[in-house]
Amino acid sequence: MSRGGASPRARDDRPEVPTPEAKRPLDAASIRVSIQGVRLMTTEDLSSAFFALNERVERTEGHGANLYECVDFNANLLTEVCKELAALKAAQEGIASQVGSTVIKLTSDTREAIEGLQKRDAERDETLRGELNTMAQSLEKGHSLMEAKSDALRVNIDEVVARIPRPRRSQRRPSRRPRQV
């Protein structure tokens, strides 16, 4: 019979949940020890207790050695991770300063390029305005010359028209109507 623990039989409603067995009463030797307080040990009991204790100590020492190895291995890993982290931080700071200087240089180069373009645009604008003003002045001169010539021609035309003899009214003008026959 087992003393406590899971029952080997399973229930039908929830088979994954073990059913504990009922507790059994202590045997006669256990009752005697609880009443007297002490139980006499035989040599065999002492030897078996010593070997059981020794086995436990050896097991505990094995676990301790394994635990030491695990802690030492994890400490070494942590040290390497910290070294890598420090190297990455140093590299990041170096790259951050390089990126900062590159951004500043690009900004200043872009500003210079834009200022150069604006200066060239202003120069071209001034040149074009000067050329347009010169063209406008020459067109105005040409226009005033043409206007003066036109006025002179009008005066000449008026003189020529005035010189042309006009037919007298007494003379008969041919009629424009066709004759009727």
- Locate the domains of the chain by residue range: 42-155
Q: Per-residue pLDDT for 144 more than 80?
A: yes
Q: What is the pLDDT of residue 23?
A: 60
The Cα–Cα gap between 163 and 90 comes to 108
Mean pLDDT value of segment 86-115: 91
The Cα–Cα gap between 161 and 163 comes to 5
Mean pLDDT value of segment 53-80: 90
More confident residue, 21 or 73: 73
The Cα–Cα gap between 89 and 99 comes to 15
pLDDT in tens, 73-84: 999 999 999 999
Q: What is the pLDDT of residue 150?
A: 85
Q: Per-residue pLDDT for 13 more than 60?
A: no
Q: What is the pLDDT of residue 6?
A: 47
The confidence band for 3, taking pLDDT boundaries of 50, 70 and 90, is very low
69-94: string of b/e by CB count within 10 Å (b at 16+)? eeeeeeeeeeeeeeeeeeeeeeeeee
pTM score, two decimals?
0.35
